[in-house]
């Protein structure tokens, strides 16, 4: 089992000061940040980032699973030519404290360029769990990932709810994510629905 304490990224993220002198900054959300904005924000807009795909390859030992039975949540994986759609939130740097705690299980802050639906661009930040973090689970067959999601539950609730809420939110954005929707189909088949 990986060391979930070592996956804690709060201290590393607090050292990132790139946006600390800004009054406002854009945050790009591609997973639960799309459907669970439990932080104050000024405004939000659909946005995308280039060169990344969403994958259920990150272990969740603290929200959607436990250290003994981790769930799976999304992270971003580099893929040339890909576009990942999500939701951008304009926030103040004061929100980082909450977000750093929420995303503490392996996620680091990175600067990113994002594009809005009207074609305008801005620089902001995104939390990504890289392949080097101790909670990274990596790829697996879809049926195996879906089964793990179906069986995992953590302090934030059943892992299945995370997948189903994300699928619903992506449909509301009119976004077709083959990976997420394939896992949703596998999950529902596993549950006999």
Nearest to 13 by CA among 97, 89, 78: 97
Longest CA pairwise span in the chain (Å) = 52
What's the token pair of residue 61?
Answer: 């030992």
Q: Which residues pair with 59 in a beta bridge?
A: 72
Whole-number Å distance between alpha carbons of 177 and 78? 15
Are 31 and 74 in contact by the 8 Å Cβ rule? The answer is yes
For strands 71-91 and 25-29, give the pairing: antiparallel
Angle at which helices 142-151 and 159-172 cross, to 10°: 120
Whether 132 is a known active-site residue: answer no
Q: Which of 85, 103, 175, 184 is catalytic?
A: 103
Give the total residue count for the chain.
193
Q: What are phi and psi of 14, to 5 degrees?
A: -65, -20
State the catalytic residues.
103
């Amino acid at each position: 089992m990986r060391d979930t304490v070592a996956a804690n990224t709060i201290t590393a993220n607090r050292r990132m000061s790139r946006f600390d002198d800004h009054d406002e900054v854009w945050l790009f959300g591609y997973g639960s940040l799309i459907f669970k904005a439990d932080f104050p924000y000024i405004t939000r807009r659909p946005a995308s980032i280039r060169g990344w795909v969403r994958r259920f390859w990150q272990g969740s030992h603290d929200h959607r699973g436990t250290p003994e039975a981790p769930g799976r949540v999304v992270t971003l994986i580099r893929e040339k030519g890909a576009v990942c759609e999500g939701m951008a939130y304009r926030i103040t740097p004061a929100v980082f404290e909450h977000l750093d705690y929420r995303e503490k299980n392996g996620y680091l802050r990175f600067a990113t360029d994002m594009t809005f639906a009207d074609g305008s661009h801005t620089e902001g930040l995104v939390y990504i769990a890289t392949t080097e973090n101790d909670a990274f689970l990596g790829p697996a067959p879809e049926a195996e990932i879906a089964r793990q999601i179906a069986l995992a539950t953590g302090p934030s609730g059943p892992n299945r709810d995370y997948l189903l809420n994300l699928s619903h939110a992506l449909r509301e954005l009119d976004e077709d994510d083959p990976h997420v929707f394939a896992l949703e189909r596998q999950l529902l088949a596993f549950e006999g629905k």
